[in-house]
Amino acid sequence: MTTPWGLMSAEPSGMPGALAGRTVVITGAASGIGRAWVHGFVADGATVVAADINAAGLAQLAPLGVHPFVVDVADAAQVKAMIDHAVRQTGRLDALFNNAGLAYNQTVEGAPDGAFERHIAVHLFGCINGMRAAIPVMRGQGTGRIVNTISRNAEVDVARTSAYAAAKAAMWAASRVTAKEVSDADILVNMLIPGPTRTAIWGRDRPEMQLPEVTYPTARLLATLPAGGPSGKVFWNEREYPMFKSDNPIARRAG
């Protein structure tokens, strides 16, 4: 199957065993988008390490046969232990999704002490901790894919989202630089924008939004990119998205 940018992707989603033998680690796996990706990758034959700070939520994934791991992604030592656990349990690390996140709905002047900092720690440093732990493993095995969940919110000035916007913008910059730093190896670092999705992060039900499983094809695409595929790019709905481009019509509408 040819991708929109002319590369050949792996087999279409849904083929039995399409990802057999591959290990996929997903943070933020206990609910929402991460949970949907766990279901998708398991159905496609991957071995999945489902990681989250929510142990009860992870326990609900047990019937799928995943390898659960309780982790606070803001803690570098815990993230390193997560990656070590994945390799110890499965023998390899093919794809890492730095997807853990939490809600933010505070003004800069009114935020409780530490709220902004905690948000940055989970989103940005969770991503950095994941990449820093995964890259040596991927270099050692000769290949790997890293996917960091970001947001179009980084491009616009929506009130009460300062920490979220700042974290996602910083993740965009760090991901692009990291992609260049590992360009000497078959390690591709890309970003995924889920789009407005019906998850608990909103603090209320949003039935008008897309279901989390709608985002899985893009996740699968980025996890299975062939050698020489795009790196340091942003993808949304299985296509490259022109983040921070002044001529980006979607960003203009969002603002």
Please give the full DSSP string across 190-237, using - where no structure is assigned. Answer: EEE---SB-SGGGSS--TTSBPGGGGHHHHHHHHTPPTT---S-EEET
Catalytic residue among 104, 164, 216, 241: 164
Using alpha carbons, select from 120, 176, 181 the residue that is nearest to residue 148. 176
Tokens of 189: 């670092």
Is residue 68 within a helix (H) or strand (E), and if so which, with residue range? strand 67-70
135, 182 Cβ separation under 8 angstroms: yes
Active site residue 164: yes
Cα separations (Å) of 144 from 182, 183, 221, 248, 251? 10, 12, 13, 30, 31
Other CB atoms within a 10 A radius of the CB of residue 171 amount to 23
The Cα 231–Cα 246 span in angstroms is: 21
H helix runs in the chain, sequence order: 32-43, 55-59, 76-90, 115-120, 126-141, 162-181, 216-223, 249-254
Q: Which residues are catalytic?
A: 164
